[in-house]
Amino acid sequence: MSVHSVYVPTREEVAQISERPVSGMLARVSLALGAIGLVAFVLGAFINPDRVWRALLYNWLFFAGLSSAGVMFVASQRITTARWSRSTIRIVEGYVAFMPVAWVLLALIVLVGRHHVFPWANTPPTVREKAIWLGPVFFTARTLITFGLLTALQVWYIWTSVRLDVGILNEWGTSWGKGFRERMRRGFGDERRELHSTHSLQGKLAVWMALLFGYGWCSLAFDLSMTLDLHFQSTLYGWWHFMGALLCVLTSMAVLVRWWRNQLAIPHIITDVNLHDIGKLAFALTCFWGYLTFGQYLVIWYGNMGEETHFMRLRLIGAWLPATLVMVFLVFVFPFFGLMGKKPKIWSAIMVTIAIGSLVGMWLCRYLEVYPSLYGPTTLLPFGLWEIAVTLGMLGLWGVCYFAFMNTFPRLRVLLMTSPYRDEVQVPVNARTMEPIPAHE
């Protein structure tokens, strides 16, 4: 067998694999962490409300960005009609489960915790245009509607993907999700027609999602992160922010794909070639994130304008400097030099270490986006019990949502891996007539 040959399993085999019981330890740990974080947040809301709300904001930016970018990565596979990821992409589709929860958390931040997080909520900006832009009603409506539309579109997209597999498989999954699976099966028709009609719909949804994702996360990054420092503006800030989230998708995927590969015992389906592909993408996004970071820094440095340089200088002095250096090392230096060859991308011990380091570094990057703007120059890093507790709580909540999804719906893309019509989607087809669409159309 050549290194690039693809093993095509039978539908019965994939169905049995998808239903295989897995360890529930991570799900239980996630539930425990979520409970600890909730208790800590409630206590902190009375003892030190500023710290817990600010900790919630930067953790929200990390976990919501990861989930949203994960679905965007799934959609990018549809836009490019990728085949390499068919055996692994469902593992990322599970990220969508956190999106509705993230919307609720965002609503709490902008409605309840606004005065503890955003300085301009207590002292309105003196610049008229900024005062209008950050007006309570306009700001709240803008952020909730933007993220709400993105959430709805991404949930719809993953629904169409999961529906294809639920429609051809026997009933399986958690009891609470039975109603969702029944709705998915309702009206499910001929497999070939369902495949093409869904593929056609997903093509439209994916393109609109890409546009909304780019605009939405630029807007959210500007509003929820950059405005914490009212004197700093950067048009690259939004791109830099959501490209960091996309990098987190690849590094988290590198970890989770290996976990599921071991749990489901499917090294013949998720092969070393798949692991290498994920590693290459993680390396590429690492390079691109470094390029954007240095590009933003370089322009600010040679422009030498006080309203811009103070943002960078603050993060390079006092207690913030060590954190900034650790972040750059974990997100860029360590992965860049560690993933240059082929073997590190495949060897799990190295890849998982680098991937987890990159995720911690990007989480630290979100911390450095928020906290220095709020606390200013300091010799004592404002990081302690509240930040740790809220972080663990958010990690646990994300894990609860993720494993709830993976235990409710098929864990692999069964139809696209086993259907005799699976490669017909490489050529556009009219979903009504089932005839190929001429190239000029």
What are the tens digits of pLDDT across the range 295-311? 999 999 998 988 889 99
Which range (4-18, 325-339, 349-363) has the least confidence?
A: 4-18
Q: Are 196 and 424 in contact (CB under 8 A)?
A: yes
- Please compute the mean of the pLDDT values over residues 68-92 and round it to a whole number: 95
Q: Are 232 and 252 in contact (CB under 8 A)?
A: no
Task: Give the H or E element holding residue 171.
Answer: none
Taking residue 209's Cβ as centre, other Cβ atoms within 10 Å add up to 25
Kindly indicate the confidence band of residue 422, based on its pLDDT and cuts at 50, 70 and 90: confident
Please give the C-alpha separations between residue 241 and each of 67, 103, 144, 256, 354, in angstroms, as whole numbers: 14, 18, 18, 23, 20
- Please compute the mean of the pLDDT values over residues 33-41 and round it to a whole number: 96
What value does the mean pLDDT of the chain take? Answer: 93
Query: Could you tell me the two tokens for 2?
Result: 């050549």
Flag whether pLDDT at 31 surpasses 70.
yes
Flag whether pLDDT at 2 surpasses 70.
no
Flag whether pLDDT at 429 surpasses 80.
no
pLDDT on residue 5: 58
Question: Count of alpha carbons within 13 Å of 302, Cβ hemisphere only?
Answer: 5
pLDDT on residue 428: 73
As a dihedral over the C-alpha atoms of residue 153, residue 399, residue 222, residue 228, rounded to 10 degrees, the angle is: 150
pLDDT on residue 6: 66
Q: Are 372 and 313 in contact (CB under 8 A)?
A: no
Domain boundaries, the chain: 11-269+383-425
Query: Could you tell me the two tokens for 171?
Result: 């009933």
Flag whether pLDDT at 439 surpasses 70.
no
Nearest to 366 by CA among 387, 397, 389: 387
- Please compute the mean of the pLDDT values over residues 179-206 and round it to a whole number: 93
Task: Give the H or E element holding residue 439.
Answer: none
Kindly indicate the confidence band of residue 108, based on its pLDDT and cuts at 50, 70 and 90: very high
pLDDT tens-digit profile of 371-418? 999 999 999 999 999 999 999 999 999 999 999 999 999 999 999 999
* Helices vs strands, H then E, count in the chain: 19, 0
Confidence (pTM):
0.94
Residue in the block written with tokens 């015992």? 265
pLDDT tens-digit profile of 129-147? 999 999 999 999 999 999 9
Query: Could you tell me the two tokens for 173?
Result: 């999954």
- Please compute the mean of the pLDDT values over residues 45-66 and round it to a whole number: 97
Query: Could you tell me the two tokens for 291?
Result: 């390029």
State percent of the chain over pLDDT 90. Answer: 85
